[in-house]
Amino acid sequence: MSKNSKWLLVILGVLLVIFIGVFGFYLVYKLNGNEEKNKIQIEVLDEINDYGYSLTSLDSKYYKEEFEALRDILSKEEIDKEAYAKAVAKLFIMDLFSLDTKVNKYDVGGDIYYYSEDVKLNEYKKKIVEEFYNLLEDNTYGDRKQELPLVKEIEVSDYKIDTYILFPDTEKQREVSCYVVDLNWSYEKDLGYDKEGTVILIDNGKKIEVVEYKAKTN
């Protein structure tokens, strides 16, 4: 084989390697691009300023209606604390038990209404992820087939003011006034999840926040 032929083979080999590399990069780029396009797009549709409450495109129509009711309560010059507590309790339950609107098990419902002290909030999220949302399938690309609950209606059945022990058995333990709200709710389809329970809330500065949920036991 002549020297020129060898050089020609070398050049062709180099060009082939470059072509394979470029083509491979193109395929990876296209595949990743398609995955990005297929991801669920979550938009923040509305917010209640100064309170940290937000509404997203994944929330149900009924949830959006209750969110607007909360906005109306908070827009008043003098806020009705009873109405505020009841509205937060309803939205907390709706968000927590509407698993169908969650992207994955780390998309914890009710967290924006929960007591915002770091330790207690983190404990709440950890408990929901590990004990309640643990079987929730991922829906990042909108292809989940799992049948999940969606709260259809909710109403307050009872309300009272009581006292609550915050941070029991710790140096931070203290007794505070609380709002106790009993609720019952229904789903688009009954899949065996809670339908009655009690939400306990306290004043925390400007906001009223959830500190505990208790399912009704028969």
Q: What is the mean pLDDT of each run of 10 residues along the chain (218 residues)?
A: 57 66 59 61 92 95 96 95 98 98 97 92 96 96 95 98 94 94 97 97 95 89
Cβ-based neighbours of 86, under 8 Å, separated by 6 or more: 156, 159, 181
Residue 181: beta bridge partners?
Answer: 159, 199
Tell me how far apart the alpha carbons of residues 155 and 196 are, in angstroms, rounded to a whole number.
10
CA distance 71 to 66: 9
CA-CA distance, 148 to 118, in Å (whole number)?
29
The structure's pTM equals 0.82
φ, ψ (nearest 5 deg) of residue 33: -65, -40
Strand 207-215 to strand 196-204: parallel, antiparallel, or no bridges (unpaired)? antiparallel
pLDDT at position 26 is 58
Our CA angle for 35, 40, 43, nearest 5°, is 135
Spatial separation of the C-alpha atoms in residues 2 and 8, rounded to whole Å: 10
Q: Which residue has the tokens 């929901």?
A: 128
d(CA 30, CA 36): 10
Q: pLDDT at position 29, please?
A: 53
Output the pLDDT for position 34: 47
DSSP annotation of 114 reads B
Domain boundaries of the chain, sorted by first residue: 44-215
